[in-house]
Amino acid sequence: MTNSKTPKIGVIGGSGLYSIDQIEDVKEIEIDTPFGKTSEKILQGKISGIDVFFLARHGKHHSFLPTEVPYKANIWALKSLGVRWIISASAVGSLQREIKPLDVVIPDQFIDRTHNRPISFFGNGSVAHISIADPFCNNLSKIIFDVASPLMPEGRDLHIGGTYLCMEGPAFSTRAESEFYRSLNCSIIGMTNHSEARLAREAEIAYSTIAMSTDYDCWHEDHDNVTVEMVVSNLRSNAELAAKIICGCVKKIGATEPTSIAHNALEYALLTQKEHVPSETREKLNLLTKKYWGEFSSSEN
């Protein structure tokens, strides 16, 4: 089934990807959200005539720790712009020997090891339980895989599927932690994507990620040979490839927009009856819930 409207696509750039040169007619947008300011001004433009909204996760000068990223504001702002698809690009460490530095992984699962993150827009008098058994949009991940496959440079492999271990940071793992994550059969480790994926699902936005390996995590016997210069060089190379993949994905989604279970994630998730939700909470949630509860009016409560 194809959506008759032109899709709007959000792109969240991680370490090394702070803009995309291929976006045309760019203008900066600053959005006030009920959850504060976004990480950076959103860059609105077009790729092949398709509306694209780019946001640098850590700010264009990389000013936010993973814990400090305003995840709620970022996702809320993209939702307010009509975004239905988010492609995330992220730097990760490899937890498996076969995932080499400069390889690309399209994960299909998460394990959350964070402890100081917003995990829901809900609360404060409103309860919702979304299904996140499959946290990434399968259809979007397939598009990324199909686009990325012919773009992979020689010697760099593309891996479909795998578990992303999301840690709090900002310090990297101890060796014991790294070995523990490997024992859980995790594929890669990062510090941001799980937080975004949960909130995107509550916002009924399809979300998937292009995880770009910069190095092996510290379990690897040669990890001490990894230098900052090597990681920075890999970040630059990954950013160039990520931009090409994202442009191809935008074109493909624009040509025939797929469906996603994420687009109706709240349909059976809202437990609190709207008349029992405090006005302040209803107002904050209106963007997400008006499809089911109707437009909020302060006179209701």
Task: Kindly report, residue by residue over 79-109, the tens digit of the pLDDT.
Answer: 999 999 999 999 999 999 999 999 999 999 9
Q: Domain coordinates of the chain in residue numbers?
A: 8-264
Domain 8-264 fold is: Rossmann fold (3.40.50)
Question: What pLDDT is stored for residue 257 in this prediction?
Answer: 87
217 given a catalytic annotation: yes
Question: What pLDDT is stored for residue 250 in this prediction?
Answer: 97
What span, in angstroms and rounded, lies between the C-alpha atoms of 192 and 197? 9
Question: What pLDDT is stored for residue 4 in this prediction?
Answer: 45
What span, in angstroms and rounded, lies between the C-alpha atoms of 7 and 9? 6
Q: Which of 112, 217, 222, 224 is catalytic?
A: 217
String of DSSP letters for the chain: ---SSPPEEEEEE-TT-S--TT-EEEEEE---BTTB--SS-EEEEEETTEEEEEEETTTTTT---TTTS-HHHHHHHHHHTT--EEEEEEEEEE-STTS-TT-EEE--EEEEE-SSS---S--SS--B----SS-S-HHHHHHHHHHHGGGPPTT--EEE--EEEEE--SS---HHHHHHHHHTT--EEESSHHHHHHHHHHTT-EEEEEEEEEEE-TTSTTGGG--HHHHHHHHHHHHHHHHHHHHHHHHHHHHS----GGGGTTTTTB-S-GGGS-HHHHHHHHHHHHHHH-S--TT--
Question: What pLDDT is stored for residue 248 in this prediction?
Answer: 97
Question: In a structure prediction context, what are the per-residue pLDDT tens digits for the chain, which is 301 residues long?
Answer: 334 478 999 999 988 888 899 999 999 999 999 999 999 999 999 999 999 999 999 999 999 999 999 999 999 999 999 999 999 999 999 999 999 999 999 999 999 999 998 889 999 999 999 999 999 999 999 999 999 999 999 999 999 999 999 999 998 889 999 999 999 999 999 999 999 999 999 999 999 999 999 889 888 887 666 565 766 677 777 888 999 999 999 999 999 889 999 999 999 999 999 999 999 999 999 999 999 999 998 766 5
Question: Per the confidence metrics, is the pTM higher than 0.75?
Answer: yes
Per-residue tokens: 85? 């698809």
